[in-house]
């Protein structure tokens, strides 16, 4: 439980009834379990990752959206199946019961229903919270970012779904993730095969949550869980095993089409037709080679109704530094959820079908962090204004203001009389490309020196032409191969 204090702040800035600071030196300075700090270097790397993801989302026509970090608890209840136990509930403080958002999908569906929308293509980058068992080395945290891309609206089958698969593949290509596969399945097909195997309808979801563990556990372990914990008959579990251990491509769709027991159920036939169409569209989008039809994929969330997919890193793709991507596992997932919006607006005559995908930024960040051999640049400063002699800090401020007015990122020392060597070392450490050196002799002649920090080359520039010269040099730097 997370408790929010009701105490009020007094005029001195301290809270009433708050004990004075004891100066306890034994207080452990660490982040809460399942969270981490991101320093400037990590943030620079994360921002680069997020920028690449957003560029893909925007290229596909999505618009940005943001929703509150917490929702009404009753709104989240019953949406996540067995995963609901991982929701952080906020302690009620005399108002409405609240909980931290578990994902971005349910808040998006609530937004569509609240605003009575019929269609929307949106992306959202935001933190979500899960009371899970953290594994920081694998990017599994309790507080983490999700990057979601969703299409809401009644469209022809599999066109939006295929685009979501394309978006996932483009994001992973942009991030240079070489060995990955997008596993696909269909919830209607999964329900149909469970029915064929003799599982009762009320057991579908709990059985699916066990099947979904096959990416982490062997079939024998899942089999034991289904028998001992879920109470299924051995014969039923053996029949399930014949299906959920299958994986392949379009040929598996054809093989299941010939399964007379499955095709006696209309929803199984509908699901196989949609999967065939998905493979066809993905072939035209040149991502079909990334698809793997995997009957063990279940995605335990209750709101999925159709095609589901999950991008996973596969073994054998060792980076140059020996990092094996297979240890990270799933890096994206999603699917179709046609009924979720309707649960928030039951009086609406027309449903708003939706399909979407969520990119696992934390896990991708772990890969990028392991691959990075040098500390990324943490600032965007383009020019450093340095003084050669004492008593020139006023002139530094004047030149600095000119650069800022020209929208050039610039900085200087906060000492009135800094040492020149310290200033130049700062430029090199922060990888600032150019330095403007000002001295008494040069200023008397109306010039300054422009120094290329990496090559140490210097040239005199008339002070009145400084902005033009700096802009020209920065443009060359930007266009350099």
Cα–Cα distance, 323 to 318 (Å, whole number): 6
At 419, list the tokens: 């040492």
CA 30 vs. chain centroid, Å, equals: 24
Is 277 labeled as ligand-binding? no
Query: Is the sign of the CA dihedral 191, 75, 110, 59 positive or negative?
Result: negative
Is 434 labeled as ligand-binding? no
Is 414 labeled as ligand-binding? no
Cα–Cα distance, 314 to 246 (Å, whole number): 17
At 293, list the tokens: 């039809």
**In this structure, are residues 414 and 440 in contact, taking their beta carbons and an 8 Å threshold?**
no
Is 130 labeled as ligand-binding? yes
Query: Is the sign of the CA dihedral 403, 404, 408, 409 positive or negative?
Result: positive
Please list, residue by residue across 380-394, b when 16 or more beta carbons sit within 10 angstroms of its beta carbon and e when fewer do: ebbbbbbbbeeebbe
Is 267 labeled as ligand-binding? no
Is 146 labeled as ligand-binding? yes
- What are the Cα distances from residue 326, in Å, to 149, 199, 289, 323? 25, 33, 19, 9
Is 455 labeled as ligand-binding? no
Is 276 labeled as ligand-binding? no
Give, to the nearest 10 degrees, the angle between helix 266-284 and helix 187-196.
140
Other CB atoms within 10 A of residue 259 CB:
15
At 283, list the tokens: 């072939």
Is 303 labeled as ligand-binding? yes
Query: Where is the binding site for L-histidine, in residues?
Result: 103-105, 130, 146, 150, 299, 303-304
Extract the annotated binding site.
Answer: 103-105, 130, 146, 150, 299, 303-304
């Amino acid at each position: 439980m997370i408790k929010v204090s009701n105490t009020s702040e007094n005029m001195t800035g301290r809270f009433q009834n708050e004990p004075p600071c004891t100066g306890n030196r034994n207080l452990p300075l660490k982040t809460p379990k399942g969270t981490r700090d991101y320093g400037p270097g990590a943030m620079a790397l994360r921002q680069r990752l997020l920028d690449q993801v957003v560029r893909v989302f925007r290229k596909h026509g999505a618009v940005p959206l943001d929703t509150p970090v917490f929702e009404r608890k009753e709104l989240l209840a019953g949406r996540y199946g067995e995963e609901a136990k991982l929701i952080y509930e906020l302690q009620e403080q005399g108002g409405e019961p609240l909980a931290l958002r578990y994902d971005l999908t349910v808040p998006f569906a609530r937004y569509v229903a609240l605003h009575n929308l019929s269609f929307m293509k949106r992306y959202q980058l935001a933190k979500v919270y899960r009371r899970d068992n953290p594994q920081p080395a694998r990017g599994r945290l309790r507080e983490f970012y999700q990057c979601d891309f969703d299409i809401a609206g009644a469209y022809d089958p599999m066109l939006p779904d295929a685009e979501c698969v394309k978006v996932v593949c483009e994001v992973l290509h942009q991030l240079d993730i070489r060995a990955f596969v997008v596993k696909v399945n269909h919830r209607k097909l999964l329900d149909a095969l469970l029915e064929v195997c003799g599982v009762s309808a009320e057991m579908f979801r709990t059985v699916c949550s066990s099947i979904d563990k096959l990416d982490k556990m062997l079939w024998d372990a899942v089999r034991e869980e289904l028998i001992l914990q879920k109470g299924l008959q051995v014969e039923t579990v053996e029949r399930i095993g014949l299906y959920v251990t299958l994986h392949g491509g379009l040929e598996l769709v054809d093989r299941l089409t010939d399964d007379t027991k499955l095709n006696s159920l209309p929803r199984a036939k509908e699901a196989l037709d949609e999967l065939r169409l998905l493979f066809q569209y993905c072939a035209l989008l040149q991502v079909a080679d990334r698809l793997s039809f995997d009957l063990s994929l279940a995605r335990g969330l209750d709101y999925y109704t159709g095609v589901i997919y999950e991008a996973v890193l596969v073994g054998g793709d060792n980076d140059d530094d020996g990092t094996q991507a297979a240890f990270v596992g799933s890096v994206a997932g999603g699917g179709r959820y046609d009924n979720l919006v309707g649960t928030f607006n039951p009086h609406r005559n027309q449903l708003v079908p939706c399909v979407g995908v969520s990119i696992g930024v934390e896990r991708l960040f772990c890969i990028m962090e392991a691959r990075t051999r040098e500390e990324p640049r943490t600032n965007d400063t383009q020019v450093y204004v340095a003084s050669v002699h004492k008593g020139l800090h006023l002139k530094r401020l004047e030149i600095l203001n000119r650069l800022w007015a020209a929208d050039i990122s610039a900085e200087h020392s906060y000492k009135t009389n800094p040492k020149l060597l310290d200033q130049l070392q700062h430029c090199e450490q922060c990888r600032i490309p150019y330095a403007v050196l000002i001295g008494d002799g040069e200023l008397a002649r109306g010039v300054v020196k422009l120094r290329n920090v990496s090559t140490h080359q210097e040239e005199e520039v008339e002070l009145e032409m400084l902005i033009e010269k700096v802009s020209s040099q920065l443009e060359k730097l930007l266009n350099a191969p």
